[in-house]
């Protein structure tokens, strides 16, 4: 049975807060700039073993030789990598003493999303009542998982507690030299999640970063490693529908998934980083490398709802190495105002009878640019590979853009590849039709957008889907009219 | 119920309605006929509040209230319903979901809670039976891939669900075969009461055999040029519109 946050919270309301679990870390930040000393210092600060330090240094060396890619359909001012501080310990001190001090616009959004008061405080960085701290929630959560032999912790913890697993798998799906941002991440990653599901175990609940201890301040270079051992299953939720106001402009995460024989990983993301203001000022640059490896009969499904960030550059991909393995990618990318998104997937068919499905829904409003970029590659040994791709774009207004860049490389004659693409616009006639039935324009847009996104929303876990639906509505508020 | 005074309306620079006067009382059925381009659909859209049309002169009153500054959705909440000549498609939104949203939005405007799911289902069952609609149809995306007849039947189904005070049927008969026409007309007749009114816009007498009007108006060049009882429709069927055009030109 799938556990929901609500159920868990209710269950825990009666339990006592296990005080003293949390070690308070004083905030400290490194000076700006990046060099070998900084890389070593990060590793030292995190008390990492030597092999990890060396791995970081090797990554740094590779990164130094690389240049920032320019092929994506996005324009932005390149970050000055020497002007960034690469280590900032989680700051435990609350930013505000009460909700009254928080930006009312942010609170308004929380309200629309139906986020509880206590949670609002937490998200906005307001001091939280001690009972509401998620530590106790997380502890119980962890216990349930431990009974099944599931490891779910921060990557820093995993490096110390489960070095054999981390060492064996880190960098095997996204190598250090994979790309500029992956190399940078490998050198300086701040923290992230680690998850291991043992052989034959079906993870009994959705794993959500929400429950992870010390989750605050995972920082701008997040590293995630999920390993599903033979015959296991896990559904992993990343992100949060609540808006994340982050002072760090550059985010370069790496996510690696490994699905061993007969295993299945479902990875769902809702990304709602600060997209910049209505004039296009500020906002997060989100340059992410996400990739999964499927062994025999394994399956990896990526589902993403991307509504935030000023610039998004993200291609969750599947390497279908094992015979009969399956890769899926379901995506909704919303851009509004001056946002730019270049997102899609790569399905690399190596094994026989491998199958992949791509459903991409792009929604552009305001003056934004929304691109789908996808690669379907069928290796010469991949007999009977199949792919189905569907890319739909929905435009709102006359100043936004939707672009589709599908790449197909088939080296085996038995491959069957289908690609469908549509572009439509929310028409005044559709809006008037809804108006005439008593549905106002905002609601009409929400209805039309949800209808458009339904195939992807349906792939999200239930609770997440409801939140994501609300998020879509909020992201597009005021974009027509 | 509805009172229209000297209504003028234009789209961009083109004047389409040039002084319409019309009074429709509760319990009445009015037919508006006329050749293509005479302004029939524009009149329907203006009553429903479509912003594309600019009212340059005159007023529309619903139950004594001037609708001038009333948004289309608010007009709907007050009981105006338009059965579209060309209903639009909304992919991914089922007929049921669409109706649920429409009904609850209207209820919200009246300060009521959402309709309980049980009542909603009951209402849907009742009204779909009335229009002989297969329930599978209701889970399909709104108007997507519907045949012409299905679209029109769906419009009347929505009318049945929303129970408007004033229903305007814009060429509901076009695209309907004789069986569908009978079902649709039958539905409209069953929904008719002494408290609501219907305006039927049509080219042909055919629909009026089933939905019998109390009054028939002929629209030509943006004006009502002739009004009469149901016999006027028969006369038009027989003689066409030309004689009226000539009469109006004099």
pLDDT digits (tens, 9 = 90+) for B130-169: 888 888 889 999 999 998 889 999 999 999 999 999 999 9
The tokens describing A81, both together, are 């990598």
Residues of chain A contacting B103 with CB distance shorter than 8 Å: 438
Residue B115 contacts A where some CB pair is shorter than 8 Å:
no
pLDDT at A139: 56
pLDDT at A2: 42
DSSP secondary structure letters along A146-212: HHTT-EEEEHHHHHHH-HHHHHHHTTSSS-TTS-HHHHHHHHH--B-EEEEE-TTPBPSS-EEGGG-
β-strand pairing of A193-197 with B166-170: unpaired
Rounded-to-integer distance, Cα B23 and Cα B165, Å: 14
What angle do the packed helices A50-64 and A36-45 form, to 10 degrees?
A: 150
* Torsion angle of C-alpha atoms B185, B186, B190, B193, degrees rounded to 10: 30
Q: What's the rounded mean pLDDT across residues B160-181? A: 92
CA B79 to chain A, closest CA, distance in angstroms equals 9
Residues of chain A contacting B82 with CB distance shorter than 8 Å: 436
The tokens describing A191, both together, are 């923290």
* A388, A357 Cβ separation under 8 angstroms: yes
- SS3 sequence of chain B: CEEEEEEEEEECCEEEEEEEEEEECCCCEEEEECCCCCCHHHHHHHHHCCCCCEEEEEEEEECCEECCCCCHHHHHHCCEEEECCCCCCEEEEEHHHHHHHHHHHHHHHCCCCCCCHHHHHHHHHHHHHHCCCCHHHHHCEECCCCCHHHHHHHHHHHHHHHCCCEEEEECCCCCCCHHHHHHHHHHHHHHCCCCCEEEEECCCCHHHHCCCCCEEEEEECCEEEEEECHHHHHHHHHHCCHHHHHHHHC
Residues in chain B: 250
Residues in Cβ contact with A243 at an 8 Å cutoff, skipping those fewer than 6 apart: A106, A109, A272, A274, A308
CA B19 to chain A, closest CA, distance in angstroms equals 24
Residues of chain A with confidence (pLDDT) below 50: 1-3, 5, 8-27, 91-93, 125-137, 211-218, 481
Spell out a b/e string for B170-196, using b for 16 or more CB atoms within 10 Å of the CB, else e.
Answer: bbbbebbeeebbebbbbbbeebbeeeb
Residues of chain A contacting B75 with CB distance shorter than 8 Å: 436
Under DSSP, is residue A41 helix (H, G, I), strand (E, B) or coil? helix
A436, A440, A452: residue with CB nearest B91: A452
Closest to A211 measured CA to CA, from A288, A305, A140, A315: A140
B80, B82, B101: residue with CB nearest A443: B101
Residues of chain A contacting B81 with CB distance shorter than 8 Å: 436
A433, A447, A448: residue with CB nearest B87: A433
Rounded-to-integer distance, Cα A151 and Cα A140, Å: 14
The tokens describing B25, both together, are 């009382």
In what order do the strands lie in the sheet containing A416-425?
A207-208, A233-239, A264-271, A299-306, A326-335, A355-364, A386-395, A416-425
A434 sits in which H/E element: helix A428-436
Residues of chain A contacting B71 with CB distance shorter than 8 Å: 435, 440
CATH for the stretch B2-249: 3.40.50.300
A430, A438, A452: residue with CB nearest B77: A438
Residue A233, strand partner residues: A202, A264
Count how many pairs of residues, chain A against chain B, have C-beta atoms within 8 Å. Answer: 75
Residues of chain A contacting B93 with CB distance shorter than 8 Å: 447-448, 450-451
Residues in Cβ contact with B89 at an 8 Å cutoff, skipping those fewer than 6 apart: A430, B141, B142, B143, B144, B146
Rounded-to-integer distance, Cα B236 and Cα A160, Å: 91
**Phi and psi torsions of A233, nearest 5°:** -140, 140
pLDDT at A435: 97
* ipTM field: 0.96
For an interface test with A, the pick among B92, B108, B165 (most A C-beta atoms closer than 10 Å) comes out as B92
Q: ∠ at Cα A358 (A352, A363), nearest 5°?
A: 170
pLDDT at A32: 77
Residues in Cβ contact with A389 at an 8 Å cutoff, skipping those fewer than 6 apart: A357, A358, A359, A360, A374, A376, A406, A417, A418, A419, A420
* B224, B237 Cβ separation under 8 angstroms: no
Tell me how far the alpha carbon of residue A40 is from its chain's centroid: 27
- CB-CB neighbours of A262 under 10 Å: 21
Domain residues of chain B, as ranges?
A: 2-249
Closest residue in B to A425 (Cα) is B90
Rounded-to-integer distance, Cα A470 and Cα A115, Å: 11
Rounded-to-integer distance, Cα B39 and Cα B18, Å: 9
pLDDT at A474: 78
CA B181 to chain A, closest CA, distance in angstroms equals 23
pLDDT at B243: 82
CA B24 to chain A, closest CA, distance in angstroms equals 20
Confidence of residue B229 (pLDDT cuts 50, 70, 90): very high
A435 and B73 within 8 Å at the Cβ level: the answer is: yes
What angle do the packed helices A180-188 and A36-45 form, to 10 degrees?
A: 50
pLDDT at A302: 96
Under DSSP, is residue A144 helix (H, G, I), strand (E, B) or coil? helix
pLDDT at A281: 74
* A334, A306 Cβ separation under 8 angstroms: yes
For an interface test with B, the pick among A393, A435, A437, A455 (most B C-beta atoms closer than 10 Å) comes out as A437
Residues of chain A contacting B144 with CB distance shorter than 8 Å: none
Q: What's the rounded mean pLDDT across residues B227-248? A: 86
């Amino acid at each position: 049975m799938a556990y929901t946050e609500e159920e868990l919270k209710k269950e825990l309301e009666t339990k006592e807060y296990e005080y003293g679990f949390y070690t308070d870390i004083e905030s400290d930040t490194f000076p700006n700039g990046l060099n070998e000393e900084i890389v070593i210092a990060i590793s030292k600060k995190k008390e990492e073993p030597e092999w990890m330090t060396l791995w970081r240094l090797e990554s740094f060396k590779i990164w130094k030789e690389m240049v920032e890619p320019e092929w994506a359909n996005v324009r932005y001012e390149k970050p000055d990598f020497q002007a960034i501080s690469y280590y900032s310990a989680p700051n435990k001190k609350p930013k505000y003493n009460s909700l009254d001090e928080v930006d009312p616009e942010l609170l308004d959004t929380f309200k629309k999303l139906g986020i509880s008061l206590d949670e609002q405080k937490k998200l906005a960085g307001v001091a939280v009542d001690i009972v509401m701290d998620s530590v106790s929630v997380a502890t119980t959560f962890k216990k349930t998982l431990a009974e099944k032999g599931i490891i779910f912790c921060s990557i820093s913890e995993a490096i110390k507690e489960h070095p054999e697993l981390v060492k064996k798998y880190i960098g095997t799906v996204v190598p250090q030299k994979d790309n500029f941002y992956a190399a940078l991440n490998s050198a300086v990653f701040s923290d992230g999640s680690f998850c291991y599901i043992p052989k034959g175990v079906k993870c009994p609940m959705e794993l959500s970063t929400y429950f992870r201890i010390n989750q605050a301040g995972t920082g701008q270079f997040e590293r995630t490693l999920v390993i599903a051992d033979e015959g296991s299953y896990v559904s992993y939720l990343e992100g949060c529908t609540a808006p994340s106001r982050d002072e760090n402009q550059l985010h370069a995460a790496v996510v690696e998934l490994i699905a061993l024989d007969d295993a299945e990983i479902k990875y769902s993301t809702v990304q709602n980083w600060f997209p910049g203001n209505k004039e296009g000022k500020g906002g997060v640059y989100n340059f992410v490398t996400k990739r999964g490896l499927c062994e025999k009969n394994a399956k990896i499904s990526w589902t993403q709802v991307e509504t935030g960030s000023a610039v998004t550059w993200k291609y969750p991909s599947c390497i279908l190495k094992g015979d009969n393995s399956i890769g899926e990618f379901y995506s909704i990318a919303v851009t509004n105002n001056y946002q730019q998104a270049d997102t899609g997937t790569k399905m690399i068919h190596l094994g026989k009878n491998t199958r992949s499905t791509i459903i991409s829904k792009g929604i552009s409003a305001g003056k934004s640019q929304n691109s789908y970029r996808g690669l379907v590659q069928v290796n010469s040994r991949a007999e009977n590979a199949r792919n189905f791709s569907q890319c739909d774009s929905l435009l709102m207004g006359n100043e936004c853009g939707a672009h589709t860049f599908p790449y197909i490389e088939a080296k085996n004659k038995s491959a069957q590849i289908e690609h469908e693409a549509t572009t439509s616009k929310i028409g005044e006639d559709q809006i008037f039709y809804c108006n005439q039935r008593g549905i106002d324009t905002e609601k009409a847009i929400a209805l039309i957008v949800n209808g458009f996104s339904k195939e992807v929303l349906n792939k999200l876990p239930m609770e997440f889907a409801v939140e994501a639906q609300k998020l879509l509505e909020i992201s597009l508020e005021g974009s027509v009219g | 119920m509805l009172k229209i005074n000297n209504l003028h309306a234009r789209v961009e620079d083109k004047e389409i309605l040039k002084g319409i006067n019309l009074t429709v009382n509760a319990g009445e059925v009015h037919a508006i006929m006329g050749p293509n381009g005479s302004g029939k659909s524009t009149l329907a859209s203006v009553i429903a509040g479509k912003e594309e049309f600019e009212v340059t002169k005159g007023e529309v009153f619903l139950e004594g209230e001037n609708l001038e500054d009333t948004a289309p959705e608010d007009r709907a909440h007050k009981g105006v319903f338009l059965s579209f000549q060309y209903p639009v498609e909304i992919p991914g939104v089922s007929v049921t979901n669409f109706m649920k949203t429409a009904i609850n939005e209207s209820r919200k405007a009246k300060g009521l809670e959402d309709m309980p799911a049980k009542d909603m289902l009951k209402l849907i069952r009742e009204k779909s039976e009335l229009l002989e609609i297969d329930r599978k149809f209701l889970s399909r995306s709104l108007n997507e891939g519907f045949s012409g007849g299905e679209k029109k039947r769906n419009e009347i189904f929505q009318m049945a669900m929303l129970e408007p005070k004033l229903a305007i049927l814009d060429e509901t008969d076009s695209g309907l075969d004789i069986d569908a026409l009978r079902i649709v007309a039958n539905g409209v007749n069953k929904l008719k009461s002494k408290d609501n009114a219907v305006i039927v816009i049509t080219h042909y007498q055919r629909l009026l055999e089933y939905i019998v009007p109390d009054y028939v108006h002929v629209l030509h060049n943006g004006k009502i040029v002739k009004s009469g009882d149901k016999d006027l429709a028969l006369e038009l069927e027989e003689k066409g519109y030309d004689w009226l055009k000539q009469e109006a030109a004099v």
